[in-house]
Amino acid sequence: MGIDFLPDKPIYQQLIDRILGDILNGTLTVGEKLPSVREYAVEAGVNANTMQRVYKELEQMEITETRRGQGSFVTEDEQKIAALRNDMKEQLVRTFLQSVAAFGFTKDEIVECLKDWGESND
């Protein structure tokens, strides 16, 4: 039903990541209105309490804002989105480096490999 969720992470957290991803990759644009809590809950196949929590946490992160009687909107503050983009990049790289370190690869080896990939795929 709806989205497939990973087993080892709270569902609300996975939904927050999904919306942040949609904002960063441009599926949701600056200032765009989000679906209502209920609509999004039906689409994702989750309980509306869970979706309510997702919207509340996004608002606390100042990535969205709620306008009374109108719903939730992606922030129009582009600096906030740029900061989010940077945080996310740092976070992904950190996780990636931790996982390759666990296999014994050195940072230099990996940087070299990433450069090759970057050149061959351009």
Partner 1 sequence: MIELNQVVKKYGAKRALNGVTLSIPKGKVIGLVGENGSGKSTLLKVLAGLSSISTGSVTYRGTSITRTIATDLAYMSDTDLFYPYFTVRELMEFYDSQFADFDLIKAKELADFLKVPHEAKMKSLSKGNRGRVKIAVTLAREAKIYLLDEPFSGLDPMVRDDIAKGLIRFTNPEEQTIIMSTHEIREVEPLLDEIIVMRGGQIIAHETIDEIRDFYGVDATSWMVSLFKEPQQGKEINV
Residues that bind partner 1 (CB under 8 A): 1-3, 5, 7-12, 38, 41-42, 44-50
Tally helices (H) and strands (E) across the chain.
5, 2
Main-chain phi, psi angles of 74, to 5 degrees: -65, 140
Residues 50/10, Cβ–Cβ less than 8 Å: no
> Which parts of the chain are beta strand (E)?
64-67, 71-74
For partner 1, the closer of residues 30 and 71 by Cβ is 71
For partner 1, the closer of residues 50 and 80 by Cβ is 50
CA dihedral 38, 49, 75, 95 (to 10 degrees): -120
From the CB of 41, what's the least distance to partner 1, in Å?
5
For partner 1, the closer of residues 7 and 26 by Cβ is 7
